[in-house]
Amino acid sequence: KKSGKKRIRVYMDGCFDLMHYGHANALRQAKALGDELVVGVVSDEEIIANKGPPVLSMEERLALVSGLKWVDEVIVNAPYAITEEFMHRLFNEHKIDYIIHGDDPCLLPDGTDAYTLAKKVGRYKQIKRTEGVSSTDIVGRILESSKDMKVLEGQEGSSPHGEPDEKSHAKGGHISHFLPTSRRIVQFSNGGKGPGPNARVVYIDGAFDLFHAGHVEILKNARQLGDFLLVGIHSDQIVSEQRGTHYPLMHLHERSLSVLACRYVDEVIIGAPWEVTRDMAEAEQCLNADSVGYEQRKSVMTRHWAEPEKLDRSSDARQNSAEAVKTGARFVHDLPYKID
Ligand code: CTP
């Protein structure tokens, strides 16, 4: 980074389809190469022309990218390739200093590099691609889990042909073996900042599987209820018990990174219990060990239900659980949950 007043503005583009922590990690690295990060979200038409139709709409991809804590500005409907004309728009209109992309080749249908021009004028920089995750891999996991479900449904019917493939679910066959290091978690965290002395801590829990635009929306709303947002991410076992053996599609560590990358999140519990237990209250208290005690803060607890119709009944059981009541927290229901 340069000293003096000039702030370095960097640009990274992408499709960001089924946005995952690999994308988040790319944008985190891009941001570190400058002071302000501008992200170009490639238009549906351009994605269709260059790699086939995306799974998520422009609106959803935009919501996901904008929700990342490293993103300062977005350019909607960016082109897939950095053309001469677009490059000059980036330099002149958007005051971009460097154009950034992952170290994987990004080829156009005619076999040429999408970043040739930027490289030629010496305004190109590279970041390291994150191994172990891609949109294609996630689509694979979705397909495999629905295949498992079909097999199971077939079994319930009168003439079961297939046996459920033991290896592909429950045992984590479709689950990536990616494990984040402590360093990666630190990189995604907010520098260990805890809530201030009189902060209202908001707690929200959920599976946060396949992190999507609806999650961004609910986390934003939850954060607005207080000053500090603590997110409990249910363990793989709990998610399996609640939703079926083919879930979660993203394992606990992957889900934790996606949630941590969200700008509205201050802290996560990696593997939160289903019930709000005394332990949970203590975990929250720990966050403020240096400041005012737990009782002196007004806590708001919120619940996130991914499948409201299905889970609403059990929510009563949870909110009235003796342990939860003991924490003295207030429960808030029916947070707006726009896109799902
Ligand atoms: N990226 C990354 N690590 C990944 C996936 C993507 O660093 N595991 C980076 C790419 O290098 C690119 C940016 O994220 O700079 C946006 O990627 P995108 O255009 O969405 O496409 P892909 O690279 O094809 O990503 P995916 O395979 O997940 O669709």
Question: 23 C-alpha vs ligand 1 centroid, how far in Å?
Answer: 6
- Domain for residue 1, yes or no? no
- Domain for residue 145, yes or no? no
**Structural domain total, the chain:** 2
Quote the CA–CA distance of 272 and 208 in Å, as a whole number: 12
Verify that 38 and 106 share a domain, yes or no. yes
pLDDT at site 294? 26
Does the CB atom of residue 14 touch ligand 1 within 6 A? Answer: yes
Q: What is the tens place of the pLDDT at every residue in 289-323? A: 222 222 222 232 333 323 333 333 334 434 444 34
Verify that 101 and 206 share a domain, yes or no. no
123-153: b (≥16 Cβ within 10 Å) or e: bbbebeebeebbbeebeebeebbebbeebbe
pLDDT at site 314? 38
Verify that 197 and 313 share a domain, yes or no. yes
- Domain for residue 339, yes or no? no
CATH of residue 290's domain is 3.40.50.620
- Domain for residue 69, yes or no? yes
Last residue of a domain, one of 127, 143, 174: 127
User: Which of 29, 56, 129 has most ligand 1 atoms within 8 Å of its beta carbon, as the pocket-test mutant?
Assistant: 129
Does the CB atom of residue 169 touch ligand 1 within 6 A? Answer: no
Does the CB atom of residue 104 touch ligand 1 within 6 A? Answer: yes
pLDDT at site 213? 84
Quote the CA–CA distance of 149 and 170 in Å, as a whole number: 12
Last residue of a domain, one of 64, 94, 127: 127
Question: 181 C-alpha vs ligand 1 centroid, how far in Å?
Answer: 20
Q: What is the tens place of the pLDDT at every residue in 70-82? A: 999 999 999 999 9
- Domain for residue 144, yes or no? no
The interface predicted TM-score (ipTM) is 0.93
pLDDT at site 159? 37
Q: Is the pLDDT of residue 239 over 70?
A: yes
- Domain for residue 298, yes or no? yes
- Domain for residue 157, yes or no? no
User: Which of 70, 74, 134 has most ligand 1 atoms within 8 Å of its beta carbon, as the pocket-test mutant?
Assistant: 134
Q: Is the pLDDT of residue 26 over 60?
A: yes
pTM above 0.90, yes or no: no
Range of the domain at 36: 9-127
Last residue of a domain, one of 94, 127, 160: 127
Q: Which atom of ligand 1 is nearest to the CA of 132?
A: 8
Using the Cα atoms of residue 74, residue 76, residue 82 and residue 83 in order, give the sign of their dihedral: negative
Question: 22 C-alpha vs ligand 1 centroid, how far in Å?
Answer: 7
pLDDT at site 154? 59
Which residue's entry shows tokens 């992952």? Answer: 102
Instruction: Name the least confident of 178-187, 249-258, 267-276, 310-319.
Output: 310-319
Verify that 265 and 195 share a domain, yes or no. yes
Quote the CA–CA distance of 169 and 144 in Å, as a whole number: 9
Verify that 186 and 250 share a domain, yes or no. yes
Question: 99 C-alpha vs ligand 1 centroid, how far in Å?
Answer: 15
Verify that 45 and 123 share a domain, yes or no. yes
Verify that 327 and 193 share a domain, yes or no. yes
Interior angle at CA 308, CA 303 and CA 311, nearest 5: 80
Verify that 192 and 316 share a domain, yes or no. yes
Verify that 121 and 189 share a domain, yes or no. no
- Domain for residue 15, yes or no? yes
User: Which of 19, 23, 60, 99 has most ligand 1 atoms within 8 Å of its beta carbon, as the pocket-test mutant?
Assistant: 23
Does the CB atom of residue 71 touch ligand 1 within 6 A? Answer: no
Q: Which atom of ligand 1 is nearest to the CA of 133?
A: 8
Does the CB atom of residue 54 touch ligand 1 within 6 A? Answer: no
